[in-house]
Amino acid sequence: MDRGDPSFAGQRVTVMGLGRFGGGIAVVNFLLDSGARVTLTDLQSATALQQSLAQIDVSRLESLVLGEHRLEDFVTADLIVVSPALNPNRNRYTLAAIEQGTPLTSEIEIFWRNCRGSKIVVTGTVGKSTTSTLIHTMLQAAGRAAFLGGNIGVSLLPTVGSIREEDWVVLELSSFQLSQLASTQPIPEITVVTNFRPNHLDWHPSIDDYRQCKEQASRWQTDRQVTILNRDDEALRNWPGAGKRIWFGRSLQESEQGARVAPEGILLQAETGQTMIPFSQLPDRFQYRHLQENLAAALAVTGICLELPPNQLVDGVRRFEPLSHRLEVLSVDGPVTFVNDSKATTPEATIAAVQSMAKPIYLILGGKDKQVDLRPMCEAFSQRVQGVACIGDVGETLADHFRELTPGLPVEVAASLDHAVEWSISRARSGDIVLLSPGCASHSEFYNFEHRGDEFRRIVSELLSR
């Protein structure tokens, strides 16, 4: 297998942000293997980055700058690699590089330019990870060589040299990553858009900018590619791109090609005829509405576009393992059930989680302020929950919404996740559910949603062992 990309040989490349979770590590190692002269800079300390630094050969770096960024590393470089978490138009170092005429790139753009495989891009506001994983699992069950990566937390850059033209690459892509691909004008073989709602307005200057970034997933497709859209989402009716339209959802018409969610299963409506994938043949978890919609989107790819036979589709769905931090049931043995839905970082995801529960709920809600109006979320389920523990930057705001909407509803502004869990347990009765479904990104108490979910798991485990 070839290592690296020779076009980077000898270039002075500044990598802005190593991080703790893979993307920065992968791109540094790839660039070093490519012969680039790499400067790595990160605002965090060597202690905080100890595990990440252990995964690269620091001696091969041109320079390592920790605890600060230096302007000279940006204005003298040939190329800047930017983390997707950072908006380059709002950072003085990247703005200085842009003014200097220095090009910016990213881990996902480097991967895209070096990947020979056929790409399936999954984007949208919620449901991306589950849909991507379902597609990947079904492809593998059918014996197809397939890779899964992107925003789901796995960098495929270390394996890009082993991906062949005949392989399938399933990429969950965020609006941040798609904005970094704009100059590449990406053309996936298949694009799936799960839905569209306002989000990440702390990063994007406007809802229009957020949408335009998402639209990069299909904008450059031709009639030789396919765009799969949610028929139930009005916001997707005028989605751009010349790709062939296939739909999924509950409101699909019989004359439309796509995957329709019917009471008894997912009905595949293809040009060659109809095929039913019955829920009775699938695990019980697919009784939940949001999982049915994710499954319909995935089956539109595998059942209609790729024409996998029904037995292989069912086998693939049966092999699907629910993702951690996504309606993950932690305990059902005691009187109270604990559910970890830390991945619910948008109001829509939390609304879906609450609506999927049949038992009384004590909800743990809140996190980082992303400049999104949270009142509609509170209105959606203020009558469906028994109590709410509000955490994070938006805790007070959420509590005020609930007190106004539902006077008398038990509401607690919790100083920490431990506090929120203990308060919820103190009020929950036998048969109740304590649900962590924040509806917001993680805040300063946590690195990311995985860390938040892991901490919830730890707190619950310790409480149950008392």
- The stretches of 3-104 forming alpha helices (DSSP H) are 23-33, 50-53, 72-75, 92-100
Distance CA 332, CA 338 (A): 7
- Residues forming the annotated binding site? 124-130
**Phi, psi values for residue 135, rounded to 5°:** -60, -50
Can you give the pLDDT at residue 447? 85
Predicted local distance difference test score (pLDDT) of residue 1: 38
Q: Can 6-105 and 108-319 be said to share one CATH topology?
A: no
Q: Which residues pair with 260 in a beta bridge?
A: 249, 267
**Domain limits, the chain:** 6-105, 108-319, 328-464
| pLDDT at 40 (0 to 100) | 98
DSSP string, 209-256: HHHHHHHTTTTT--TTSEEEEETT-GGGTT----SEEEEEESS--TTS
- Residue 33 is which amino acid? D
What pLDDT sits at residue 370? 82
How far apart are the two ends of the chain, measured CA to CA in Å? Answer: 52
pLDDT digits (tens, 9 = 90+) for 245-288: 999 999 999 899 999 999 999 999 999 999 999 999 999 889 88
DSSP string, 86-125: S-GGG-HHHHHHHHHT--EE-HHHHHHHH--SEEEEEESS
**For residue 386, what are the CA distances in angstroms to 334, 373, 379, 418?**
19, 23, 14, 19
pLDDT of amino acid 23: 73
Binding site for ATP: which residues?
A: 124-130
Residue type, 399: A
Q: Which residues of the chain have pLDDT under 50?
A: 1
- Between CA 433 and CA 425 the distance in angstroms is 9
Fold adopted by 328-464: Protein-Tyrosine Phosphatase; Chain A (3.90.190)
Per-residue pLDDT tens over the stretch 83-131: 988 899 999 999 999 999 999 999 999 999 999 999 999 999 889 999 9
Whether domain 108-319 has CATH 3.40.1190.10: the reply is: yes
The values of phi and psi at residue 25, to 5°, are: -60, -45
CATH number of 6-105: 3.40.50.720
